[in-house]
Amino acid sequence: MSTSTRAGWSGGRSRTNLALGALFLGAFVIGTAELVVIGVLNLIARDMAVSISAAGTLVTAYALGISIGGPVLYALSIRFGRRFLLRLSLAAYVAGNVLAVVAVNFGVLLVARIVTGSLHGLFIGVAFAVAASLVPPERMGRAISAVLGGIAVSTVLGVPLGTLIGQALGWQAAFVVIVILGVIALVSTLLFVPPVENAGASGLAAQVRHALAPRVLAVLGVGFLLLGGQFAALTYLAPFLGEVTGISGGLISVFLLAYGVANAVGTFVGGWAADRSATTTLVVANVVLIGALGMFYLVGSTPILVALALGVWGLVGFGLVPSLQYHVVSLAGPGRDLAATLPASAVNAGIAAGALVGGWAVAYQGVAGAVITGLAVCAIVLPATWATQFLKVPAADNGVESVAPADAQAAHSTNDVKARSCPTPPSTSTVASTSARLCEENNL
């Protein structure tokens, strides 16, 4: 942790909470912008004189921007300061949505979605790194959940309100509101986010080598499958509720809202759990997810039990993401800054693949087949999820590269002898901090 950030924490949590609040707001804005297009897709298709299926490529373009463009943009800007990059990405994101508002044809709108999707991936990765730098190591999971919480809350509040505005005033109006909220979020980052130091290796080659190490890719693969399995079923939730559960109209919206609320709550609870043990949380969440999907399929014709299964599903479905982010960043060691952008890529790739596979299952087995497919994927990945808890950062990958200059001052703590042989790491160096604590506990 940098000297300035450590001082900010010791000066009171209120300033840290304001900074985390600014990151939450930024994530809320981009989460709303990502999905609000779904609610106004019919209006866009009509105004742009394209088919609904063609308009749907706006969703695909945005997801590809997150998955591919985000890490690429970070790699190109890796030497920039974190706070500067956070502000730059958010300012560019606002500009990209202005382009969407004034788009004169579908091609321009498609380009705007690709650009904003890429900036989404960049902003989220940097926001995770900044959030983790604002707090002590033992609170990193909760800091991550503050960013993810902005996205989760956007699905419950931002997307429905944006859709309502877009349907009433035109789809451009929804993006105008996003631009206004984006400016407010940008001003908040200017006012409340303090300077933070880059952590880990400074060179692109070193970042890539550590961020794409097999141990990191293994955890990203688990995240890809866990989210893919869920979205194989979740994408076809409304048809399932209509055909199997026997509800329709406004009741479907109520069930979807209940899932969204559970999702938001689960994100914050997941951050708390990640601080205790990210690896254990992933395994437990995987087991509970299997149970929830199994219950959802077995009691699909009983509305009250379906609602209960949806609630449990919502709690753990995205509640596992803070632990996924935590574990990836930890295993990346000196490549943690670049690695912070990768879980979003894995998650969005999993969502896209899951929706595709779920569609194939529906075509051959009906809507119940999508749920079975999602359940099968989540069950198959459980052994791999369990195995990831044994992945460690080799000593050669967790050496001096990951130790910031600020650690020299930490060596003058009250536990001076231990501090010299077990240096205090920066807050974002989760693996290094774990090693230091283990070293101290063993009186090395």
Contact assessment for residue 421 and residue 411, using Cβ atoms and an 8 Å cutoff: no
Q: How far apart are the first and last CA of the chain?
A: 23
Report d(CA 94, CA 102) in Å as an integer: 13
- The structure tokens listed for 412 are 């003058």
pLDDT over threshold 90, residue 286: yes
Taking each helix axis from N to C end, the angle separating 140-153 and 106-133, rounded to the nearest 10 degrees, works out to 150
The average confidence (pLDDT) of the chain is: 82
CA distances from residue 370 to 161, 208, 388 in whole angstroms, order as listed = 29, 36, 27
Other CB atoms closer than 10 Å to residue 438's CB: what's the count? Answer: 11
Tens of pLDDT, residue by residue over 176-199, are 999 999 999 999 999 999 987 765
Backbone angles phi, psi at 70, to 5 degrees: -60, -55
Taking each helix axis from N to C end, the angle separating 13-39 and 57-64, rounded to the nearest 10 degrees, works out to 150
H helices present in 366-422, as ranges:
367-380, 382-387, 407-410, 416-421
Q: Among residues 341, 339, 342, 348, which one has the least CA distance to residue 318?
A: 348
344 exposed, middle or buried (CB, 10 Å; 0-12, 13-18, 19+)? buried
Report d(CA 259, CA 2) in Å as an integer: 39
Tens of pLDDT, residue by residue over 84-109, are 999 999 999 999 999 999 998 999 99
The CATH number, out of the four listed (1.10.220.10, 1.20.1250.20, 3.40.190.290, 2.60.40.10), of the domain defined by the range 201-402: 1.20.1250.20
Contact assessment for residue 9 and residue 196, using Cβ atoms and an 8 Å cutoff: no
Q: Which amino acid is at 1?
A: M
Tens of pLDDT, residue by residue over 289-324, are 999 999 999 998 899 999 999 999 999 998 999 999
Quote the pTM value.
0.74
Reported confidence tier of residue 21, pLDDT bands at 50, 70, 90: very high
* Long-range CB contact pairs, 408-416, < 8 A, 24+: 409/3, 415/440
Tens of pLDDT, residue by residue over 353-412, are 888 888 888 888 888 998 999 999 999 999 999 999 999 887 666 543 333 333 333 333
Tens of pLDDT, residue by residue over 121-141, are 999 989 988 988 888 888 888
Torsion sign (Cα): 282, 287, 291, 297 = positive
pLDDT over threshold 70, residue 12: no
CA distances from residue 241 to 37, 247, 301 in whole angstroms, order as listed = 23, 6, 9
Report d(CA 64, CA 67) in Å as an integer: 5
For residue 254, the model assigns a pLDDT of 82
Encode 262-292: b = buried (16+ Cβ within 10 Å), e = exposed.
bbbbbbbbbbebbbebbbebbbbbbbbbbbb
Taking each helix axis from N to C end, the angle separating 106-133 and 41-48, rounded to the nearest 10 degrees, works out to 140
- The structure tokens listed for 91 are 């300012």
Classify residue 425 as left (phi > 0), alpha (psi -120 to 50) or beta. Answer: beta
Report d(CA 388, CA 15) in Å as an integer: 36
> Where does CATH 1.20.1250.20 sit in the chain?
1-198, 201-402
Encode 150-173: b = buried (16+ Cβ within 10 Å), e = exposed.
bbbbbbbbbbbbbbebbeeeebbb
Contact assessment for residue 380 and residue 391, using Cβ atoms and an 8 Å cutoff: no
User: With respect to CATH, is domain 1-198 assigned 1.20.1250.20?
Assistant: yes
Report d(CA 16, CA 108) in Å as an integer: 39
